[in-house]
Amino acid sequence: MKDKHLTTLRMIYLFGNWKMYLDLEESVALVTELCNVKLPTHEYVTLGIFPNPLAFVSVRNVFKGSTFFLGAQNVGWTSKGAYTGSISAELYKNAGATYALVGHSERRYIFNETNEAVRKKVEACLDAGIIPVVCIGETQKDKDANKKEYRLKKQIMKVFEGLSLDRKEIIIAYEPVWAIWPGTPCNPEEARDTHELIHAEIAKYTDTKVPVIYGGSVNAENVEQYLSLNGVDGVLPGHASTKIDTFVPLIEHVIGLFRANP
């Protein structure tokens, strides 16, 4: 099911969330391999990697001069000072991060991160000059209780109500929690309808164009069906971005789509 020709897209994002799958050595080995493969590039495709905090600087050093941008998987909302165990958006910015994931479902549901904490982190990123990639998504329980729309609208409201963007960028990642690997991939019709709803909801709060990317078991085989949908401005693969054998074909496939439709 294709809603649009890929050439109608402008910038799309392909962000790899490495979660806590790889240790320091494995992270460095993977970026080294990525740098050794001659990966295609395209001016409309922004590539990003989100390594764990321990591996961040080493990954940055290997990636220097590459086409990949770097992001944090999480940030603290304070800046500098007596905040044991926290890494602020400002510290990440100084270390070379362009993006930061905020409110990933694993932070929300495993580490009890609230909408209020997510909002503080969004503001901390914007203040520090980091582009927040704010993850929203309903659980299976929300879905079963017919609360999907309610959950998404509330998460969006808590991010955008009264937020001053002032020409700053923000990205939303729609990740249905039930579709995160090894969950069941979301069917394209549902992804399209949900992205439509999310864009409409965001438009109630801001005139700024906010890209909405999709995440949930995305891989080289299914990525085209998501990127072909109206309102899907990129993808956020987790598991498939953590192995050279699955990440390289995914990147090649996405860039190939654009090259085939110049």
Q: Applying CB under 6 A, which of residues 34, 70, 124, 236 lies at the interface with ligand PEP?
A: 236
The upper half-sphere exposure of residue 67, i.e. CA atoms within 13 Å in the direction of its Cβ, equals 18
- Beta strands at 12-17 and 99-102: parallel, antiparallel or unpaired: unpaired
Per the residue annotation, which of 175, 195, 201, 239 is the catalytic one? 175
Distance separating the N- and C-terminal Cα atoms of the chain:
21
Q: And the tokens for 6?
A: 């890929």
* Segment lying near ligand PEP (by CB under 6 A), choices 32-40, 83-91, 151-159, 209-217: 209-217
Which region, judged by CB under 6 A, interacts with ligand PEP, from 60-68, 194-202, 236-244, 251-259?
236-244
Based on the shown chain and the rule CB under 6 A, indicate whether residue 17 belongs to the binding site for ligand PEP.
Answer: yes
From candidates 237, 247, 257, 258, binder to ligand PEP by CB under 6 A: 237
21 part of the interface to ligand PEP, by CB under 6 A = no
3-class SS of residue 181: coil
Rg (CA), the chain: 17
Identify the residue whose tokens are 């494995």. 26
Region of residue 153 (phi > 0: left; psi between -120 and 50: alpha; otherwise: beta): alpha
- What binding mask, one character per residue, do residues 173-192 give for ligand PEP by CB under 6 A, x or -? --x----xx-----------
Tokens of 62: 């290997």
Under rule CB under 6 A, residue 103 binds ligand PEP: no
Cβ(22)–Cβ(52) below 8 Å: yes
- Is residue 175 among the annotated active site residues? yes
> Could you tell me which stretch among 52-60, 140-148, 203-211, 212-220 binds ligand PEP (CB under 6 A)?
212-220
Nearer to ligand PEP, 14 or 90 (CB): 14
Question: Which tokens sit at 179?
Answer: 């579709």
Q: Is 104 a catalytic residue?
A: yes
Positions in the binding site for ligand PEP (CB under 6 A):
17, 175, 180-181, 215-218, 236-240
